[in-house]
Amino acid sequence: MDRVVADGGAEGGVDAEAALAVVPAGALAPGGVLLPMAGAWERPADGPAAFTPAFPPVAGSTYVLLWRGDGTGAWVPLARATAPGTPAPRTTRVLAVEPDVEEVPENLLRFSLLFSAPVDEGGAGAHVDLRTADGAPLPGALLPMPPELWDRPRRRLTVLLDPGRVKRGLQPHVQAGPPLPRGTDVTLSVGEDVRDAAGARLAAGAARTYRVGPPVRARVDPARWALSWPATPGDELAVTFGRPLERTLVQRCLRAVDADGRAVPGAAVASAAAWRFTPTPGAPAVRCLHVHPDLEDLAGNSVRHVFDRDLAEPADDPVATAGVVLHPDGRVVVRPPAEPSAGPAPDDGRARVLPPG
Amino acid sequence: MSDLTAENGSPTPQSAGPLLFHPDVAADGGAVLFLADVAATRVLAVELPPEAAAPAQAEVRVEQLGAKLASLLGVERDDVLLRGLAVHPASHAAYLSVARGRGPASAPALVRAGTDGELSVVAVDALPTTTFDLDDAPAADDTRQDFWLDGTDATSQVREIHGIELQVAQVPLRRSTITGLAWVDGALLVAGSSNEEFSSRLRRVPYPFDGSAQGTSVEIFHVDHGAYETHAPIRSLIGFDGGSSVLATYTCTPVVHFPVADLTGDGLVRGRTVAELGPMNQPFSLVSYERDGEEFLLVSGTRHPLLKIPASSVAGQPPLTQPLSQDATALGVPREELDHPGVTWMASLERDSVLVVQEADGDLHLRTLAAAQL
């Protein structure tokens, strides 16, 4: 239904906009206000008037055509119509609840939800819930405000725990404590009433339970990782982190680099715990591993900064760096800041696929 | 998702986000409105048709704004979400950025509320528009395909590259959500948060847009009570003190102050905390106004009440260094709680009046609060 056509009772010379209006049915219900829908009326000299709404009608919603004679006085309902459209099938699922770990630190900064299809923006946050394992709510643990933090395809939603309560230096932390109770289990759930981009609810909700462990307050230090370098070119490079890291940043921030400083083409598998890289057959040999300093762990500590740095603690001092380079001989090179990168630009998140050979 | 470009070649917004007027008005009453398009990660500058100057002491008042927007936009009450508010510098009409509808019927709407209380939809795609893409937005004509080779991603597909079949998935496309716009020191400041790393993305963009953005290397921090220093994504911000400084709210609770000069350089910028809200109350909107010749700052939160802070004490406030306490009143500058419950969005109307969106009686209302009431 793109247009409403009103035929009959031609009021010669009466302006269609003054005499006719279309409204959604809710405007006539208690709590509603009657305001003509935005749109354009056409009123040819003979023939039916036609109304094209400024915005698409909502499938399944009812609209009412109103008339008020000479353009003043009360509106009178003339007809109702329901916009056609079958409800979209419920096919969208929750593919993953992240982080993909069993235990999270008490100062966990965020959860993420990965959906199988694009999701409608603006309403999902209301259906995400954090509770203790007993089902008791944890009020104020999740940051409630808009805007929602989505990736570009709107399939991955990041939900923050209230940073005001995570950060040690703020009133909310002092008054309400950290969002997650240490030593207990918490369950993050997403309800099936989340709408996908087609307007359908999810096929099912999802939930994941985590144990809450001690807080993590230290920089991400690549020097502490366990690396297994390929024995022969073409073998896998395996990296195991000292503690769980933020998976999407692992994908973005680690790069196997060849002798010319270019990214080695291959297949990478990233998780919170590890990164495994297999070069494509015939690719140049892996010479070193580049780590971009934006890499964060689950508590928001990065290579450069502790999330909430204790100014009295020298170990918390930030490290100014453009990145860390790990070599097979065990050398760890911390590149100075703003050094022109000989390799791929690390910050734009684009891993170039280079032709082999 | 609709095409970015309408038939006449003018870019159309894909989503509703914050609004801001360019402070200058043409002689005929024409003004430029900045719209943040969050889904497209871009800012649009729309040249509005001229509007007549407002009569003195003009007010904007729309009762039952939520119900009226629903009827005007052809949806149910629940399908109308306010995403931005700005006041036309000549006519003092209120412009509202509205997210309308869900799923396939969803669209951004720009609605004008005149000083006569009338609501009308502004057809943005019919107006001259220029755009600025934030630097992490892929170019529309970029035909390169950026891949991460990861056979385990549910969306990965087999592709043939130079004779070799590889299982590829796309690099997760992170997105900066634009949370605030401000006009400071002759340029547009765009604040936002990434969905991946926890840091500020603050950009200083000259207008007319020339494709450049400055100050992107600024990292925003704050020091909490002299003890801890943290990254702090800026949520909203306004110019203050005649444009020499900026007041901002963070994603966590503080309201902070920066000299403008700090935001135009490189490196770290540490905002000076001037106020902190309590738990479960995030700062929502900031405006300044004048009463009896004195400037005040008004802060609304996601919970009540409205806070009023004398500007003179903001300028003179030393950084909050006293130890934290359980007593919520010992939180920096002297402040007063005002009895105007349910206020969220705010915008300056005149120097001595503030336009607010107030929740009451189950609906939203657009109201003007005079300085004498604040």
Flag whether pLDDT at B36 surpasses 70: yes
What mean pLDDT is predicted for residues A260-279? 90
B207-229: pLDDT as tens digits: 999 877 665 556 677 776 677 77
Query: pLDDT confidence of B75, banded at 50, 70, 90?
Result: very high
CA distance A167 to B262: 24
Asked if B4 has any chain A CB less than 8 Å from its own CB, the reply is no
Taking alpha carbons only, the member of B290, B285, B287, B296 closest to residue B351 is: B290
Omega of the bond leading into A144 within 30 degrees of 0 (cis): no
Which residues in chain B (16-45) have CB-CB distances under 8 A to chain A? 17, 38-39, 41
Beta pairing class for B228-231 and A308-310 = antiparallel
Tell me the pTM.
Answer: 0.86
Going from the C-alpha of B114 to that of each of B28, B93, B187, B212, B324, the distances in angstroms are 18, 4, 27, 35, 46
Contact between B21 and B45 under an 8 Å Cβ cutoff? The reply is no
Which of A22, A28, A120, A353 is most worth mutating to test chain B (most B CB atoms within 10 A of its CB)? Answer: A353
Residue of chain B whose alpha carbon sits nearest to that of A85 = B104
Q: Do B76 and A248 touch (CB under 8 A)?
A: no
Flag whether pLDDT at A273 surpasses 90: yes
Residues sharing a CB contact under 8 Å with residue B328, sequence separation 6 or more, in sequence order = A171, A175, B278
Flag whether pLDDT at A352 surpasses 50: no
Q: Do B147 and A266 touch (CB under 8 A)?
A: no
Name the average pLDDT for chain B: 80
Q: Across the beta sheet with B107-113, what order do the strands follow? A: B80-87, B94-100, B107-113, B119-122
CA distance B372 to B374: 6
Find the angle CA(A178)-CA(A184)-CA(A185) to the nearest 5 degrees. Answer: 105
B82-108: pLDDT as tens digits: 999 999 999 999 999 999 988 888 899
Q: Do A296 and B198 touch (CB under 8 A)?
A: yes
Taking alpha carbons only, the member of B358, B367, B305 closest to residue B336 is: B305
**CB count, 10 Å around CB of B121?**
19
Q: Do B197 and A198 touch (CB under 8 A)?
A: no
Helix residue ranges, H only, chain B:
65-73, 311-316
Asked if B230 has any chain A CB less than 8 Å from its own CB, the reply is yes
Q: Do A308 and B276 touch (CB under 8 A)?
A: no
Instruction: Identify all chain B residues contacting A35, using CB atoms and an 8 Å cutoff.
Output: 68, 71-72, 119
Nearest to B71 among A32, A122, A153 (CB): A32
Q: Do A38 and B231 touch (CB under 8 A)?
A: no
Dihedral angle sign, alpha carbons of residues B358, B362, B363, B365: negative
Name the average pLDDT for chain A: 86
Flag whether pLDDT at B195 surpasses 90: no
Flag whether pLDDT at B129 surpasses 80: yes
State the residue for tokens 């070193």.
Answer: A288
Flag whether pLDDT at B245 surpasses 90: no
Q: Across the beta sheet with A308-310, what order do the strands follow? A: A308-310, B228-231, B219-224, B268-276, B254-259, B245-250, B234-240
- Residue B177 structure tokens: 């959500």
What mean pLDDT is predicted for residues B40-62? 91
Query: What pLDDT shows up at residue B318?
Result: 60
Query: pLDDT confidence of B142, banded at 50, 70, 90?
Result: very low
**In Å, how far from its chain's centre is CA A42?**
43
Q: Which residue has the higher pLDDT, B329 or A170?
A: A170
Q: Do B74 and A38 touch (CB under 8 A)?
A: yes
- Residue B105 structure tokens: 């019927």
A300-335: pLDDT as tens digits: 999 999 998 888 888 888 888 889 999 999 999 998
Adjacent-strand bridge partners of A310: B228
Which of A55, A115, A316 is most worth mutating to test chain B (most B CB atoms within 10 A of its CB)? Answer: A55
Taking alpha carbons only, the member of B306, B312, B275 closest to residue B292 is: B312
CA distance B45 to B13: 11
Q: Do B104 and A198 touch (CB under 8 A)?
A: yes
Q: Do B195 and A171 touch (CB under 8 A)?
A: no
Going from the C-alpha of B237 to that of each of A240, B86, B273, B303, B308, the distances in angstroms are 41, 13, 13, 19, 16
CA distance B247 to B255: 7
Asked if A271 has any chain B CB less than 8 Å from its own CB, the reply is no
Taking alpha carbons only, the member of B298, B307, B308, B302 closest to residue B346 is: B298
Residues sharing a CB contact under 8 Å with residue B275, sequence separation 6 or more, in sequence order = B254, B255, B299, B307, B309, B331, B332, B333, B335
Flag whether pLDDT at A245 surpasses 70: yes
Dihedral angle sign, alpha carbons of residues B5, A124, B145, B194: positive
CA distance B293 to B277: 27
Q: Do B328 and A171 touch (CB under 8 A)?
A: yes
Distance from CA of B293 to the nearest CA of A (A): 33
Asked if B127 has any chain A CB less than 8 Å from its own CB, the reply is no
- Region of residue A95 (left: phi > 0; alpha: psi -120 to 50; beta: else): alpha
Find the angle CA(B325)-CA(B327)-CA(B331) to the nearest 5 degrees. Answer: 75
What mean pLDDT is predicted for residues A76-104? 92
Flag whether pLDDT at B3 surpasses 50: no
Residues sharing a CB contact under 8 Å with residue B221, sequence separation 6 or more, in sequence order = B229, B230, B231, B232, B268, B269, B270, B271
Q: Do B173 and A153 touch (CB under 8 A)?
A: yes
Asked if A344 has any chain B CB less than 8 Å from its own CB, the reply is no
Q: Do A172 and B253 touch (CB under 8 A)?
A: yes
Instruction: Identify all chain B residues contacting A350, using CB atoms and an 8 Å cutoff.
Output: 146, 171
Query: What pLDDT shows up at residue B136?
Result: 59
Instruction: Identify all chain A residues contacting B104, using CB atoms and an 8 Å cutoff.
Output: 56, 59, 197-199
Query: pLDDT confidence of B259, banded at 50, 70, 90?
Result: confident
Adjacent-strand bridge partners of B301: B283
CA distance A81 to A62: 6
Adjacent-strand bridge partners of A12: none
What mean pLDDT is predicted for residues B20-31? 92
At residue A260, the 3 state secondary structure works out as: coil
Instruction: Identify all chain A residues contacting B121, using CB atoms and an 8 Å cutoff.
Output: 38, 54
Dihedral angle sign, alpha carbons of residues A168, A171, A174, A180: negative
Flag whether pLDDT at A237 surpasses 70: yes
A15 CB-side CA count, 13 A: 5
Asked if A156 has any chain B CB less than 8 Å from its own CB, the reply is yes
Flag whether pLDDT at A343 surpasses 50: no
Element (H, E) at A227: strand A226-228
Going from the C-alpha of B8 to that of each of A229, B12, B14, B124, the distances in angstroms are 56, 10, 16, 12
CA distance A168 to B324: 10
**CB count, 10 Å around CB of A71?**
12
DSSP codes of every residue in B60-73: --BTTHHHHHHHHH
Which residues in chain B (156-195) have CB-CB distances under 8 A to chain A? 161-162, 164, 166-168, 171-175, 177-179, 193-195
CA distance A316 to A311: 7
